[in-house]
Structure 1
Amino acid sequence: MRDKHKFYYYSDYDFINIREYYVGEEALQLRGVLKLVSPFEHEITEDWVAFEHLLDYSFYNVLEIEPSERIIIFCPPYNLLSRDNIEKVTEVLFETFNIKGLCIINPGFASLTSMEKNTGTIVCLGDDIIHVSSFFNGKIMKDTVKSANYGFRDLVNLTLKQLLQKGYSFTTSSEKLWVEDICNKLSYVALEPEGELQYKKNIEKDYICPDGEVISIKKNRFEPAELFFKPEIIGNDGTPIHKLIYESHSKIDDDLKSTFKEVILTGIGVIPGMDLRLKKELNKIGDSQEFKVKINPFSTHSEFKGASILGQNKEYLKKHVYPLEEFKDFGPQGIHEYY
């Protein structure tokens, strides 16, 4: 399946062999002649066929394993956590790849595990989603689950828009990726955005583009990040991140709230200053509860690290692996007894 439908495409440089699909770095290198797709957007399934391609590529090209000989540990992205999506993932893995067993791990719990915790509140700032959830002794507290459909991608898009308004030009896909690099290297959250330019020195920084052009960035370093606290500036009606966390925390029983006074941030959208600003905003709207905000030191790969730790825990796997034999009897719905 991975190499079907081969044909040749003529470029200015050479004939290149085009496969049915590409994933990851290969896809980015050919983005000028390919349509780039993401299998999932927010909480909506966009393309299950693309998802199968992603799994196929991961098993055979990256991991170089035969999935039918393995028990698979799957830590889904937050936008795959709905009951229907979990069942569809289960169906695809068993029926398409004939796996021996499946263990699905909640990404929030995996992130906690990466810090050797099983109780706490996790806030993931993802590419296109903010997700808040709390766990007590490894069990998710379902009433605390809150999400909003904005994220790091919106930060990049707003930064791009502001730089275009300043007269800079980003027309190709490659050039637009430079803006993502700018955000990764230079964006931050201001503690007091209204007075940032007046009271803080050395804000302006230069970014040297791969083509040699120098871009000077000042207020565009911190202004776009305000979308996390005022999503309406990008036309998004989602709940601001600090209010989302507070709403989640309000669902915890009063006698347990002191256990959850620490909020842990994770994900690609965690940029410098986010922890300090969130602490300020949370304590501004909070009651007598004093919030603490901490960044997961493994932020961009905490789910992978946590799932790897759990994958070596034989007792955990014994309780949470859904075996092929039971899938044959109970189908995708049976996964919920183990997840």
Structure 2
Amino acid sequence: MVDGTSTLVIDSGSSSIKAGMANDEAPQTVFPSVIGRVKQSGFMNVANCKETCVGPQAIANRGLFKLQHPIRHGHVENWDDLEQLWSHALYDELQVEPAEYAGVVVADTQISSIRQRERMTQIMFETFNVAALYVEAPGVLSLYASGRTTGCVLECGDGATSITAVHDGYDVPQCHSHSTIGGDLVTSYLRRLLLDRGHAFTTTTESEILREIKETHTAVAMDFVQDVRQIAANATAYQLPDGTSIELGREIYCAPEVLFRPSLAGVTDAGLHSMLYNAISQCDSYLIRRDLFKNIVLSGGSTMLANLPERISKELKAKASFNQHIHVDVPDYRQFGAWVGGAVLGSLSALENVWITKAQYDEVGPSIVYNQVK
């Protein structure tokens, strides 16, 4: 019998891992999806680390380690590292034995290939010996979290943005869209802007400092020209770990602007508002388009940037016809939207009908995942 206490939920993003039990309101653990490898063998025992450190331990000792992210732009680039992150989440953070639970719900990117999903399935069953597995796209899970059966979800994470549309519980595939723009593009553009002023951030350690600046000091402009002009006259001091300070002025608004005008960073993808508008416009049915515009849901850590929801709403209203109602839902939990949706799903008895079970996996092998992606 599936219930919230017997189901585990994992959301693996480019920036962080979220994990917990389905009966929790929020993930029990959230930590950076980063692996640190020691730069010099003489430091192998520093901070109780061996050759590698995981998540927060790697970040805390970032001066000694080369930091690597196993997931980039929605694609898994290093399965061994991702397996190590999952192991840390399950055994060290949650302190559970996965085989003792009814199953695991895993959020997997919208653009995941069959090969990637097969590998994920193989690791879950063969390494972690899970009893059952269900894999779903973050956008669909975020819609579950919102309690809707109709909606268009913009899932903006660190490494990618995806748009997923569902109407009356049915997938609307022509409205799906994917882009590599996300929080990482903001970080990269912030690096370029600061370099233009003589501040170089080149190492993996310095990249983490840039992430911190982005998350704590930048904001989306509501009126770009006016906001940049005002902030340039009121610079903010930011103290670096070495004690020196840099001034943050126009960068505060210019860096996040790439989410709406990626061309500033030399990227040809459409901005977030254009992605949404174009995706919904792909639907042939006026009634479905109308309903999707009224039920836009934001999810993902990068949607936590100050003023981002308001800017998206403003830009969409400027694009839409005068009689089109636009509503953008901004859940408080949106940085964990996919995980919360996985928890909702993991608490439903109906999940028993769609699990991939250990017995099915043992009989068919990794290709059993084809049954779940049809």
TM-score normalized by the length of structure 2: 0.79
Amino acid at match of 2:218: S
Tell me what 1:334 maps to.
368
Higher relative contact order (CA 8 A, sep 6+): 2
Question: Offset of 1:210 from its aligned partner?
Answer: 4.0
Per-residue CA deviation, residues 192-221 of structure 1 (Å, 9 max, x unaligned), is 212324468985333333444333322111
Unaligned runs of 5+ residues in structure 2 are 1-39
Tell me what 2:79 maps to.
48
Question: Offset of 1:14 from its aligned partner?
Answer: 7.6
Tell me what 2:94 maps to.
63
Residues 1:266 and 2:299 aligned together: yes
Residues 1:110 and 2:141 aligned together: yes
Tell me what 1:255 maps to.
287
Amino acid at match of 2:299: T
Aligned residue for 1:191, secondary structure, equals coil
Contact 1:132 1:245 in 2 (8 A): yes
Superposition pairs for residues 1-339 of structure 1, below 5 Å? Answer: 9-11=41-43, 18-78=49-109, 81-170=112-201, 173-198=204-229, 204-252=235-283, 253-261=285-293, 262-270=295-303, 271-287=305-321, 288-315=323-350, 317-338=351-372
Q: Which moved more, 1:30-39 or 1:139-148?
A: 30-39
For residues 273 and 251 of structure 1, do their structure 2 counterparts lie closer, same or farther at Cα, with a shift above 3 Å needed? same
For residues 212 and 131 of structure 1, do their structure 2 counterparts lie closer, same or farther at Cα, with a shift above 3 Å needed? same
Question: Offset of 1:38 from its aligned partner?
Answer: 1.9
Per-residue CA deviation, residues 93-135 of structure 1 (Å, 9 max, x unaligned), is 1122222111223211222222222321111111111111112
For residues 18 and 205 of structure 1, do their structure 2 counterparts lie closer, same or farther at Cα, with a shift above 3 Å needed? closer
Question: Offset of 1:241 from its aligned partner?
Answer: 1.7
Question: Offset of 1:146 from its aligned partner?
Answer: 0.3
Question: Offset of 1:268 from its aligned partner?
Answer: 1.6
Contact 1:124 1:266 in 2 (8 A): yes
Q: What is the aligned-residue identity percentage? A: 23
Aligned residue for 2:302, secondary structure, equals coil
Per-residue CA deviation, residues 34-78 of structure 1 (Å, 9 max, x unaligned), is 332222222433112222222222222122222233343233242
Q: Which moved more, 1:133-142 or 1:267-276?
A: 133-142
Counterpart CA distance in 2 for 1:156 and 1:52 is 26
Counterpart CA distance in 2 for 1:200 and 1:54 is 40
Per-residue CA deviation, residues 221-262 of structure 1 (Å, 9 max, x unaligned), is 111112112212222222222221112101332222222123
For residues 136 and 336 of structure 1, do their structure 2 counterparts lie closer, same or farther at Cα, with a shift above 3 Å needed? farther
Question: Offset of 1:189 from its aligned partner?
Answer: 1.3
Amino acid at match of 2:337: S
Amino acid at match of 2:349: K
For residues 33 and 112 of structure 1, do their structure 2 counterparts lie closer, same or farther at Cα, with a shift above 3 Å needed? same
Aligned residue for 2:54, secondary structure, equals coil
Tell me what 2:36 maps to.
none
Per-residue CA deviation, residues 290-322 of structure 1 (Å, 9 max, x unaligned), is 32223221121122222122211122x222211
Counterpart CA distance in 1 for 2:352 and 2:200 is 55
For residues 92 and 80 of structure 1, do their structure 2 counterparts lie closer, same or farther at Cα, with a shift above 3 Å needed? farther
For residues 329 and 21 of structure 1, do their structure 2 counterparts lie closer, same or farther at Cα, with a shift above 3 Å needed? same
For residues 75 and 15 of structure 1, do their structure 2 counterparts lie closer, same or farther at Cα, with a shift above 3 Å needed? closer
Q: Which moved more, 1:238-247 or 1:36-45?
A: 36-45
Tell me what 1:5 maps to.
none
Question: Offset of 1:160 from its aligned partner?
Answer: 2.2
Counterpart CA distance in 1 for 2:203 and 2:122 is 38
Contact 1:9 1:17 in 2 (8 A): no
Unaligned runs of 5+ residues in structure 1 are 1-7
Question: Offset of 1:23 from its aligned partner?
Answer: 1.5
Question: Offset of 1:32 from its aligned partner?
Answer: 3.3
Aligned residue for 1:102, secondary structure, equals strand
Number of residue-to-residue matches in the alignment: 331
Q: Which moved more, 1:121-130 or 1:70-79?
A: 70-79
Tell me what 2:15 maps to.
none
Aligned residue for 1:36, secondary structure, equals strand
Contact 2:110 2:138 in 1 (8 A): no
Counterpart CA distance in 2 for 1:41 and 1:249 is 26
